[in-house]
Chain A
Amino acid sequence: MTTDDPPQSAADIASAVASGRTSAQTTIAAALARIRERDPVLNSFTAVTEERALKRAQALDAARARGAPLGPLAGVPFAVKNLFDVAGLPTLAGSKINRSYPPARRDATLIERLEDAGAVLVGALNMGEYAYDFTGENVHDGPSRNPHDINRMSGGSSGGSGSAVGGALVPIALGSDTNGSIRVPASLCGTFGLKPTYGRLSRARTFPFVASLDHLGPLARTARDLALAYDAMQGFDADDPVCADRPAEPVTPLLQRGADGLRVAVAGGYFKCKSGDVCYAVDRIASALGANRDIELPEAERARSAAFVITATEGASLHLDRLRARAKDYDPAVRDRLLAGALAPASLVVKAQKFRRWYRQQVLDLFKEVDAILAPATPCTAPLVGQQTFMHGDVEMPVRANLGLYTQPISFIGLPVVAVPVPMNPLPIGVQIIAAPWREDVALRLADMLESKGVVGAPLPAV
């Protein structure tokens, strides 16, 4: 494969490597060449682990030569948001401050699990500072760029993950999602993104943001690749106290079931689209799924407010010592929000957590009537880099705080969501397929079916 060939899916790469049609070393060398050629424009990588990747690819080829099993992701290059521990690298979390920390001694659990499945880590990815971001802009490393228009945002905070996958540098990347940080860049960069159920995937050895709300998950160019990566990462991990003690529930074998028997509704009220692009995308998917019923998530706007309060205060608590010692080394936009969060009354935080339980029960009741709910992923397509506001209906809103206004009320109660890309001209936009807790299979089946019908898909990058 050359740098000009169309992007290959992870499933195709693994099949080719396992069968011997190509080698892991050839595949990884091609991925590294793509990164060298295109990333100076996209700025999605902050570190490329070339030596490690080539060594790993060599080991995979040697394993194949002696007849050893390679795993379902054999030879698949992947990269991770730079808040994942990568042995030998400092875990930046998008910051200047963490650059002075010692290198990680062990990979994050999810990296270990993907590599156990045969995948090959090729680097760490740009992100918004300390994940407090929806834009993909970073004052220390520069913005990661949108692969469909480099003058536009990638979305954040997993901006490098969206840019690298949307730009076809790698077929799979990992990100984190506290309030929408996988789904927002997936939407703006035209990729699939999975935010699993809260507690499904281990967060061990990653830099946190808001422990009550932090999730990790994959971005990919196909729904099947998303499922393959997700399946490889499932399972209990005692190193993350939030990780649920439940067996892995593989989804990939279930994809062929499609939408059969699934009841789908469209979120109304707070989630009602307010712009032409967003309405078109939701309508297109609703029509393909025969979803002709609206359903209202009660008090969704209040849920977003509660998530906002918990985020500001828990995030501030995490950073108190760093703020005392190195406040001037933060991105000012992050620092000022963290300082404000440190001053918010604890009584409001406890009330937000009480409201969270109430809201969860109301939404769970909805899943007695439906299996999945559709909602926009972002209120607009990718804004320009540096753009400060956008129009939401008739209201002008700040970009940084509001790109996640549709994602926050969902992650607030930990529901699994697949963001699917609707390829529009000139820019794609995503739609959330939301399922009941622990039913990632429902959202992934629908995403795969929509992709097979050509309703959704990752567009080829312009870069």
Chain B
Amino acid sequence: MDVLVEAGTKALGLPLDPTWTAAVIFNLRLILQHGARVDEFALPDDAEPAPIYRA
């Protein structure tokens, strides 16, 4: 996770003070836990995302 946070912030040009790293990792883990709960739910291939764009 340290590597991901360091590389991710660098790729996006975001600052990362070493004193922030632990809290960013904590929060990223939390997002990924919630994301995993969403990801494990089976949806059909033709499921449409909620927002609809109309040209």
Q: Name A's B-contacting residues (CB within 8 A).
A: 212, 299, 301-302, 304-306, 308-309, 312-313, 320, 323-324, 327-328, 332-333, 335-337, 339-345, 348, 350-358, 360, 401
In the assembled complex, the Cα of A305 lies from the Cα of B39 at a distance in Å of: 10
A353 partner residues in chain B, CB cutoff 8 A: 49-51
Whether A352 lies near B8 (C-beta < 8 A) is: no
B48 partner residues in chain A, CB cutoff 8 A: 354, 357
Residue of B nearest to A356 (CB): B50
Assess A309 versus B13: contact at CB under 8 Å? Given A299-B41, A356-B50.
no
B38 partner residues in chain A, CB cutoff 8 A: 302, 305-306, 309, 348, 351-352, 355
A306 partner residues in chain B, CB cutoff 8 A: 34, 38
In the assembled complex, the Cα of A418 lies from the Cα of B12 at a distance in Å of: 40
Q: By the criterion of a CB under 8 Å from any partner CB, how many residues of chain B are at the interface?
A: 33
In the assembled complex, the Cα of A352 lies from the Cα of B28 at a distance in Å of: 16
Residue pairs across A and B with Cβ atoms less than 8 A apart, 26 shown, are A212-B51, A301-B37, A305-B34, A305-B37, A305-B38, A309-B31, A309-B34, A309-B38, A324-B15, A336-B23, A339-B16, A340-B5, A342-B12, A343-B8, A343-B24, A343-B28, A344-B31, A348-B32, A352-B38, A353-B49, A353-B51, A354-B48, A354-B49, A354-B50, A355-B43, A356-B50
Asked if B14 lies at the interface with its beta carbon under 8 angstroms from chain A, I say yes
Residue of A nearest to B8 (CB): A343
Apart from A327-B15, A348-B35, A348-B38, 16 more pairs, CB < 8 Å = A212-B51, A302-B38, A305-B38, A320-B14, A327-B14, A333-B23, A339-B24, A340-B25, A342-B9, A343-B12, A343-B28, A353-B51, A354-B47, A357-B49, A357-B50, A360-B50
Whether A356 lies near B49 (C-beta < 8 A) is: yes
In the assembled complex, the Cα of A320 lies from the Cα of B28 at a distance in Å of: 16
- Grouping DSSP codes into helix (H, G, I), strand (E, B) and loop, the B interface class, with mixed when no group exceeds half, is helix
In the assembled complex, the Cα of A301 lies from the Cα of B15 at a distance in Å of: 33
Closest 9 CB pairs of A and B: A340-B27, A353-B49, A348-B35, A305-B34, A336-B23, A356-B50, A340-B28, A343-B8, A308-B34
A305 partner residues in chain B, CB cutoff 8 A: 33-35, 37-38
Asked if B55 lies at the interface with its beta carbon under 8 angstroms from chain A, I say no
In the assembled complex, the Cα of A350 lies from the Cα of B26 at a distance in Å of: 22
In the assembled complex, the Cα of A50 lies from the Cα of B43 at a distance in Å of: 55
Assess A332 versus B8: contact at CB under 8 Å? Given A341-B31, A354-B49.
no
Assess A320 versus B20: contact at CB under 8 Å? Given A355-B43, A356-B49.
no
- Grouping DSSP codes into helix (H, G, I), strand (E, B) and loop, the A interface class, with mixed when no group exceeds half, is helix
In the assembled complex, the Cα of A194 lies from the Cα of B43 at a distance in Å of: 32
Whether B9 lies near A343 (C-beta < 8 A) is: yes
B28 partner residues in chain A, CB cutoff 8 A: 340, 343-344
A340 partner residues in chain B, CB cutoff 8 A: 5, 24-28, 30-31
Determine how close the nearest CB of chain A comes to the CB of B19; give it in whole angstroms.
9
Whether A351 lies near B39 (C-beta < 8 A) is: yes
Whether A309 lies near B35 (C-beta < 8 A) is: yes
In the assembled complex, the Cα of A441 lies from the Cα of B2 at a distance in Å of: 51
Whether A401 lies near B30 (C-beta < 8 A) is: yes
Whether B32 lies near A344 (C-beta < 8 A) is: yes
B27 partner residues in chain A, CB cutoff 8 A: 312, 336-337, 339-341
In the assembled complex, the Cα of A336 lies from the Cα of B27 at a distance in Å of: 7
Whether A342 lies near B8 (C-beta < 8 A) is: yes
B8 partner residues in chain A, CB cutoff 8 A: 342-343
B30 partner residues in chain A, CB cutoff 8 A: 308, 340, 401
A327 partner residues in chain B, CB cutoff 8 A: 14-15, 17
